[in-house]
């Protein structure tokens, strides 16, 4: 029972981290594109 709970929470945490990482990567990509554009001006 406890093992199942721990496994469940690990899955939840990993899922949350995965989502946050995806959003973070997206922000970095946007920032890089903006930086490249401002550099070209």
Where do the domains of the chain lie?
1-41
CA distance 32 to 13: 28
Q: What is the pLDDT of residue 8?
A: 92
pLDDT in tens, 1-41: 789 999 999 898 888 888 878 778 788 888 888 888 888 76
CA distance 27 to 8: 29
Distance of CA 30 to the CA centre of its chain: 14
pTM of the predicted structure, to 2 decimals = 0.45
CA distance 16 to 12: 6
Which candidate, 19, 2, 27, 5, places its Cα nearest to that of 35?
A: 27
Q: Where are the alpha helices (DSSP H) in the chain?
A: 2-40
């Amino acid at each position: 029972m406890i093992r199942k709970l721990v496994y469940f929470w690990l899955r939840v945490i990993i899922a949350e981290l995965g989502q946050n990482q995806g959003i973070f990567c997206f922000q970095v990509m946007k920032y890089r594109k903006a930086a490249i554009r401002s550099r070209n001006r």
